[in-house]
């Protein structure tokens, strides 16, 4: 039956599925922006969406109505936003921890490499001066192969 009353547990399950899908596809920021923008009109939009897609539900799938019912109240939209933010924060913390571990691993590798020899500063040796060039000869500099002119 398409038009059945859903319990709060069914609505919460649908909300969790939506939040999991958003997190799995790395769409946290666009989803939060979207849900924050539709929160004021979520009730009207969910009812209109259910009415618009009523004839297409057999073609699209029977689960579409569950998603419309989940957003009939703004508190349910807020639940989705909170779930996404919480999961996103945990995901970013694990990523930061992985970055720190990788950085420490690289540091340990560097310690295993031999240290380069230090170059001591020596007094510059005097180089003999070039003999004066003949001014009668034309000196042409060789231009690189990519020179445009």
CA dist 127 and 62 (Å) reads: 89
Q: What are 4-53's pLDDT values in tens digits?
A: 677 888 888 988 998 999 999 989 999 999 889 888 888 777 777 777 76
Residue 3 lies in a domain: no
Residue 137 lies in a domain: no
Q: What are 64-93's pLDDT values in tens digits?
A: 666 777 777 888 889 999 999 999 999 889
b/e burial code for range 124-144 (CB count within 10 A of at least 16 → b): eeeeeeeeeeeeeeeeeeeee
Res. 102 pLDDT band, cuts 50 70 90 = confident
Residue 1 lies in a domain: no
3-state class (DSSP) for residue 78: helix
CA dist 148 and 57 (Å) reads: 67
pLDDT of res. 11 = 85
Give me the domain span that covers residue 16. Answer: 8-109
Residue 70 lies in a domain: yes
3-state SS of the chain is CCCCCCCHHHHHHHHHHHHHHHHHCCCHHHHHHHHHHHHHHHHHHHHHHHHHCCCCHHHHCCCHHHHHHHCCCHHHHHHHHHHHHHHHHHHHHHHHHHHHHHHHHHHHHHHHCCCCCCCCCCCCCCCCCCCCCCCCCCCCCCCCCCCCC
Q: Give the count of domains, the chain.
A: 1
Residue 12 lies in a domain: yes
Residue 118 lies in a domain: no
Residue 72 lies in a domain: yes
Asked whether residue 1 carries a pLDDT value surpassing 50, the answer given is no
Residue 24 lies in a domain: yes
């Amino acid at each position: 039956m398409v038009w059945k009353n859903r319990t709060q547990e069914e609505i919460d399950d649908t909300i969790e599925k939506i939040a999991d899908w958003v997190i799995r596809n790395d769409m946290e920021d666009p989803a939060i922006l979207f849900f924050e923008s539709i929160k004021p009109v979520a009730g009207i939009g969910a009812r209109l969406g259910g009415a618009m897609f009523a004839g297409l539900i057999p073609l699209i799938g029977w689960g579409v109505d569950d998603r419309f019912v989940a957003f009939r109240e703004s508190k349910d939209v807020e639940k989705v936003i909170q779930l996404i933010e919480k999961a996103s924060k945990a995901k970013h913390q694990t990523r930061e921890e992985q970055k720190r571990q990788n950085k420490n691993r690289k540091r340990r590798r560097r310690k295993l490499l031999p240290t380069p020899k230090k170059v001591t500063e020596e007094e510059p040796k005097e180089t003999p001066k070039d003999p004066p060039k003949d001014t009668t000869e034309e000196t042409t500099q060789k231009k690189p192969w990519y020179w445009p002119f």
